[in-house]
Amino acid sequence: MSEHGIRPAGARLDGDEPQELVLSDGSRLTLESAPEADSVHWCRQVDGRSEAVSMEQARELAGPEFGEYVAVRTRSEAEWLRALAQWASVQAERLDEEAAVLS
């Protein structure tokens, strides 16, 4: 990632939950959900621009001190999405049952 002019190391965690990782150049590394693109991906935000990065790139940008944060945050997001999907499935079944009564 030296082509971006940053050393591969996170500086600190910042923000509300879930937190952003502030990199050494002041840019921020976040895991974002993009419903319009039907995807969840890591992004590096710099100067108001956002560029998608792979999980491997995100971990490299985070450096040894925060690399595990990227892995844990990614796994946590996957679990959250599974839980959300399960909840939505239960709610859909409930609505189907209620709609069947109306038929």
Q: What is the pLDDT of residues 49-77, one digit of tens each?
A: 889 999 999 999 998 888 898 999 999 88
Give me the pLDDT at residue 65, please.
Answer: 86
Give me the pLDDT at residue 2, please.
Answer: 46
Query: Whole-prediction pTM value?
Result: 0.71
* 11 close to 22: Cβ distance less than 8 angstroms: yes
Q: How many CA atoms lie within 13 A of 58 on its CB side?
A: 25
Tokens at residue 97, please?
Answer: 């049952």
Closest CA to 54 of 68, 40, 66, 64: 40
All structural domains of the chain with their residue ranges: 2-102
Q: How far apart are CA 78 and CA 65, in angstroms?
A: 22
User: Using one digit for the tens of pLDDT, what is the confidence trace for 5-63?
Assistant: 455 455 666 656 567 888 888 888 988 876 666 778 899 988 888 899 999 999 999 98
